[in-house]
Amino acid sequence: MTTAMLELLLEPLSEPFFVRALVAVALGGVTCACLGAYVVLRRMAFVSTALTHSILPGVVGALLLGFSPYLGALAAALLTAGGAAWLASRKGSSEDSAIGVMLSVMFAAGVALMQQANSWRDFAGLLFGSVVAVGAEDLAVIAATAAGVLFGLRALHKELELASFDEEYASLLGARPALMRMVLLALVALGAVSCVRLVGALLTTALFVIPAATGVLLGRTVPQVMAWGVGCALAGGVSGLYLSYHLPAVPSGAGIVLCCALPYLLARLFAPRR
Amino acid sequence: MSRFWTRFTRQLGDAVFALLPTLPYARPEKPVCAGDAVFARGLTAGARTDGPAAFRDADFSIPCGCRTALIGPNGSGKSTLLRVLAGLVPPQSGEVRVAGFAPALGRSRVAYLAQRPQLTEGFPLIVRRLVQMGTYAHHGWFEECRHGDEAVDQALARLGLTELADRPVHALSGGQLQRALLARAFVQGAEVLLLDEPYAALDAASREIIERFLFEQGHAFTVMMATHDPADLARFDRVLEIRAGAVTTRHACAGHDHRHA
């Protein structure tokens, strides 16, 4: 019995692509869970959805023009963040609707560009993730982004915490909450770009929101929320990969997101009320 | 290993901070108050810079260490005046100085307590960390808090929060939260406290702790408090009244040197 289970766990590890996928999911999961803590606590889930969806036109455009898809994705995500901020700063337009406009415009542009490229099949991995196809180069990009994002979060921890909790006091002390918000959006864009290979443009929001939402149910401080979120993302990511390896009917991206939702459900049901 | 990383990030943070000396954050300010803590001449201001003025041509001054009550009917501009002094709203015209300088953000000597603090609901934060936020004024960008623990303990004790130090902030009652925010202002090292109706919706116990903190330790702070309680005015050295767009001074008080100068 135990040997059979051990076999289930060890057998995939002999495949190099599976090991690469595991490392990618671990790095991406840690990055997204830590960033996600602020996304959830500041109620920025909608803007993170907009950023992750807007990666689509960036990647397709980059492929059409022939430069790095990562650069294209980052440019598109930053364009969305900047555009939403600019639209929301005009009178008579709420931030909510500004983000809605940018999200649908960018996604529609992506669909139009995909038609230009004449092949929907090639972009299925972009929309739904293809972590098993991650190569050494992708792994390097994911690792570098993870290092950059985590360093940024560590260096600006107290400023981000203060600006997220009490915006007025932050500006009284001169900690510039508006600047902090922009830094956070840029970090989310960076994280989204690196994680789009794992679960796809349509599901990357899940990596930001679900582990961190679990963390919020269990943690009493921001570092605790991040730690619980990282645990949830790692557990969900690794079990999702195994699930899709042994059940080929489940695509890896969907498997990861579904397995991340399980700890959230458990925390929701059994976490002590605070 | 983890100690190495802590040291490494600290030193990297310090190095980066040393490269950015002009950031308007955490400028060290010497706690010296001489003459007027608050001074205004020809001050006109409204809740918004481009909106109607709440009061016009106000002339007043408050000596260091003086406790001032700010009274006036609802909507007369008490909150606006406090926000102008805190630097959150620029004045429409006139001259104003707080602790010797024009109000600006990023000043640790001035603290402001809003009537209804806009805190993010459900944010995971314990009381001790909330109070510790006051020490941010003495840390630079990229620095984590590493000094000021004694000041935090002292502030918690003086405002009767020692037993609540590890509670989550969102589990506090209104009065406990108000006390925690006052403790944060104390830890910040502020000399000029601008308080917007701090007693609104407080029980007697919380109110007594806050009053003891503000009034029974010499003249360590210059206090300016918006209040609606007529029975309370006897405690103050001076009363400023805003009525129909005019600011008038009703009492005067002699200056006091700050005790912790």
pLDDT tens track for B20-35: 543 444 444 555 566 7
What is the residue range of B232's domain?
Answer: 2-249
Residue A187 lies in a domain: yes
Q: Report yes or no: B215 at the A interface, CB cutoff 8 Å.
A: no
Residue B260 lies in a domain: no
Tell me, what's the pLDDT at A206?
92
Q: Report yes or no: B194 at the A interface, CB cutoff 8 Å.
A: no
**CATH number, residue B202:** 3.40.50.300
Q: Give chain B's count of helices (H) and strands (E).
A: 6, 9
CA B162 – CA B33 distance, rounded (Å): 30
Count: domains in chain B: 1
Residues of B whose CB is below 8 A from A224 = 124
pLDDT tens readout for residues A25-47 = 999 999 999 999 999 999 989 99
Q: Print burial letters for A71-102: b (CB count within 10 Å at least 16), e (below 16).
A: ebbbbbbbbbbebbbebbeeeeeeeeebbbbb
By percentage, how much of chain A surpasses pLDDT 70? Answer: 97
Residues of A whose CB is below 8 A from B128 = none
Residue B259 lies in a domain: no
Tell me, what's the pLDDT at B165?
92
Q: Looking at A90-131, list the stretches that DSSP marks H as alpha helix, in order from N- to C-terminal side.
A: 95-117, 124-128
**CATH number, residue A204:** 1.10.3470.10
Tell me, what's the pLDDT at B84?
93
Residue B86 lies in a domain: yes
Residue B191 lies in a domain: yes
Tell me, what's the pLDDT at A106?
92
Q: Report yes or no: B112 at the A interface, CB cutoff 8 Å.
A: yes
Residue A67 lies in a domain: yes
Q: Which residue bears the tokens 């932050």?
A: A170
Find which of A157, A159, A162, A169 to mutate to test the B interface (most B CBs within 10 Å of its CB).
Answer: A169
Tell me, what's the pLDDT at A130?
82
Tell me, what's the pLDDT at B79?
92
At residue B126, what are phi and psi to the nearest 5 degrees? -95, 160
Residue A253 lies in a domain: yes
3-state secondary structure B171-230: HCCHHHHHHHHHHHHHHCCCCEEEEECCCCCCCHHHHHHHHHHHHCECECCEEEEECCCH
Residue A10 lies in a domain: no
CA distance B81 to chain A (A): 15
Angle of CA points A132, A136, A140, to nearest 5°: 110
Among B65, B67, B53, which residue's Cα sits nearest to residue B240? B67
pLDDT tens readout for residues A114-163 = 888 766 666 777 888 888 888 888 899 999 999 999 999 988 888 899 99
Tell me, what's the pLDDT at A147?
95
Tell me, what's the pLDDT at B218?
64
Residue A6 lies in a domain: no
Residue A162 lies in a domain: yes
CA distance A147 to chain B (A): 13
Residue A34 lies in a domain: yes
User: For A219, which of B110, B124, B142 is closest by C-beta distance?
Assistant: B124
Among B45, B78, B34, B59, which residue's Cα sits nearest to residue B222? B34
pLDDT tens readout for residues B136-173 = 877 776 777 666 788 899 899 989 999 999 999 999 98
Angle of CA points B120, B124, B125, to nearest 5°: 95
User: For B168, which of A158, A172, A274 is closest by C-beta distance?
Assistant: A274
Tell me, what's the pLDDT at A194?
84
Q: Which two tokens stand for residue B178?
A: 């108000």
pLDDT tens readout for residues A70-98 = 899 999 999 998 888 888 777 777 888 88
Which residue on chain A is closest to B28 by alpha carbon? Answer: A173
Q: Which two tokens stand for residue A144?
A: 């570098």
CB pairs under 8 A between A and B: 91
pLDDT tens readout for residues B35-81 = 788 889 999 998 888 888 899 999 998 888 888 999 988 888 899 99
Residues of A whose CB is below 8 A from B9 = 154-155
Count: domains in chain A: 1
- DSSP secondary structure code for residue B147 in this structure: S
**B55-64, B126-135, B243-252: the lowest-pLDDT one:** B243-252
User: For A224, which of B23, B86, B124 is closest by C-beta distance?
Assistant: B124
- DSSP secondary structure code for residue B59 in this structure: E
Helices A157-165 and A177-199 cross at an angle (nearest 10°) of 110
Does residue A256 have a pLDDT over 80? yes
CA A70 – CA A271 distance, rounded (Å): 39
Residue A274 lies in a domain: no
B253 vs B177 pLDDT, higher one: B177
Which residue type is seen at A7? E
User: For B144, which of A157, A173, A219 is closest by C-beta distance?
Assistant: A157
Which residues of chain A are at the B interface, by a Cβ-Cβ cutoff of 8 Å? 41-42, 154-159, 161-162, 164-169, 171-176, 216, 219-222, 224-225, 274
CA distance B124 to chain A (A): 5
